[in-house]
Amino acid sequence: MRKLFTAKSGGAFRTEADAGMVRLIDSPHRLPATPIEQRLSSALKEAGPLPVALLVKRVAVELYSDELRKGAAVLDIGLLGDHIFNRDIIRELDAGNGILWAIK
């Protein structure tokens, strides 16, 4: 699998191709299985093809908002912000490439 992002601990994510776009595959090999895959798929259905960075940010904000509604604001997550979800989103985005969506 190709690496979408490389990051050092605490560092910023960088794309291999800054102009990488993600689009849903017309006939995916399977349905989205995880909550993150479901969010990624939903965001792409709603907005159409998106740049990788924008898609990651959009899903991270949604996940962060959900956690805050569940009461996570009293924990460390309230201080860390939505970027704490980036690595998990990127991992699942990369894993679903060619299966649920295409990254070009």
Q: Which of 103, 90, 83, 104 is nearest to 37 (CA)?
A: 90
- CB neighbour class for 31 (10 Å; exposed up to 12, middle 13-18, buried from 19): exposed
Predicted TM-score (pTM) of the model is 0.77
Which tens digit of pLDDT belongs to each residue from 38-95?
Answer: 999 999 999 999 999 999 999 999 998 888 888 766 666 666 778 889 999 999 999 9
